Copies of this chain bind each other. A is one copy, B any other.
Amino acid sequence: MADRVQEILSWYSSDNAGTKTNIARLLRHGKLAGTGKLVILPVDQGFEHGPARSFASNPGGYNPLYHFQLAIDAGCNAYAAPLGFLEAGAAEFAGRIPLILKLNNHDVLHDEKDPLPSVTGSVNDALRLGCSAVGFTIYPGSSHCNTMYQQLREIAEKAKDCGLAVVVWSYPRGSELSKEGETAIDVVAYAAQIAAQLGAHVIKVKLPTAHLEQAAAKKVYESAKIPIATLAERVRHVVQSSFDGRRIVIFSGGAKSEDANVFEEARAIREGGGFGSIIGRNSFQRPKAEAMKFLNTIMGIYAGEIQ
């Protein structure tokens, strides 16, 4: 399986050895090490939704150390969180799991139709905390997209210069998009393309629906008969839209949901050529034993051990 990692690294031929090393760290850690698949544990809900909404259902999660341990014990490829959560455990867990420092965040004490998260950390913070990558969220479709793209540009340039990998959360949202449009297949594929063009090494998007949002795109999807009927087909199209599969694209699990649904989605991601999942609320919002079992199943699906 090591060859698969080398193959993936070959797509990042213009990056320096440091960045290649850190991409490799993500791909060579945990249960899916070497498979080219990733399951990442992200915990930014404390900032994004508030502590009680995030941790009351499984109060162990109020403690930042809990999530390091969960990610390690479940065999995730990496653990991603904002500055405070990583500062609170980076030394205790030094070298035990690749870390991704999320560099921008948004709270809902003040919300806006056209979101613009705050930059809450720096590349230097990521370096001093021993992280393998920085994470950054863009909201294509927001009237503030210029600001976010340019913040990302600057961060990504510095991160690459310092040998870090760049993970981009690309979530369409804004006053010109319908609610349904935020997960429309044309919009999600476009969001993946934008992240790739901005220089992301790893792209994270939401699972797309078969809805087509933009009239000019709809015409092309229909005339070119792009297959988007099944979730696997849509995943395949998003992967294709990410430099024909030459960028790592992973999908978010979204809000807490029936396990069967999540497993079904993981199978579609696998079948469509996706590279894995970021699974937050579905893992840390349940008792640890259940979370371990749940994540184990997901990883089994990606590893091809579970059909």
User: Are B56 and A226 in touch, CB under 8 angstroms?
Assistant: yes
- The interface residues of chain B lying within 8 Å CB-to-CB of A63 are 243-244, 246
User: Are A197 and B110 in touch, CB under 8 angstroms?
Assistant: no
Residue on B nearest A197 in the bound complex, by CB? B84
Interface centre among A12, A65, A193, A241 (most CB of B within 10 A): A193
Residue on B nearest A225 in the bound complex, by CB? B56
Residue on B nearest A119 in the bound complex, by CB? B150
A287 at the binding interface (Cβ < 8 Å)? no
User: Are B91 and A14 in touch, CB under 8 angstroms?
Assistant: yes
User: Are A64 and B109 in touch, CB under 8 angstroms?
Assistant: no
- From B46, B105, B240, A59 is in contact (CB under 8 Å) with B240
User: Are B53 and A217 in touch, CB under 8 angstroms?
Assistant: yes
A13-B91, A14-B128, A120-B149 are known contacts; what are 9 more A-B pairs with Cβ within 8 Å? Answer: A46-B197, A51-B192, A56-B220, A56-B221, A62-B241, A84-B197, A107-B140, A107-B190, A120-B153
A124 at the binding interface (Cβ < 8 Å)? yes
Q: What is the CA–CA distance of A199 and B109 in the complex, to the nearest angstrom? A: 19
Q: If the complex has contacts A14-B91, A50-B214, A189-B51, are A157 and B84 also in contact, measured as CB distance less than 8 A?
A: no
Q: What is the CA–CA distance of A240 and B93 in the complex, to the nearest angstrom? A: 21
Q: What is the CA–CA distance of A141 and B64 in the complex, to the nearest angstrom? A: 24
When all copies of this chain in the complex are counted, the total is 5
Contacts A/B (CB < 8 Å), 7 sampled: A50-B217, A52-B220, A56-B220, A84-B247, A109-B174, A109-B190, A120-B149
User: Are A122 and B62 in touch, CB under 8 angstroms?
Assistant: no
Q: From residue A15, how far is it (CB to closest CB) to chain B in Å?
A: 8
- The interface residues of chain B lying within 8 Å CB-to-CB of A246 are 63-65, 88
A3 at the binding interface (Cβ < 8 Å)? no
- The interface residues of chain B lying within 8 Å CB-to-CB of A71 are none
User: Are A186 and B50 in touch, CB under 8 angstroms?
Assistant: yes
A129 at the binding interface (Cβ < 8 Å)? yes
User: Are A157 and B52 in touch, CB under 8 angstroms?
Assistant: no
A125 at the binding interface (Cβ < 8 Å)? yes
Q: What is the CA–CA distance of A221 and B57 in the complex, to the nearest angstrom? A: 10
User: Are A244 and B149 in touch, CB under 8 angstroms?
Assistant: no
Q: If the complex has contacts A56-B226, A88-B246, A157-B124, are A194 and B107 also in contact, measured as CB distance less than 8 A?
A: yes
Q: If the complex has contacts A14-B87, A82-B197, A172-B109, are A190 and B51 also in contact, measured as CB distance less than 8 A?
A: yes
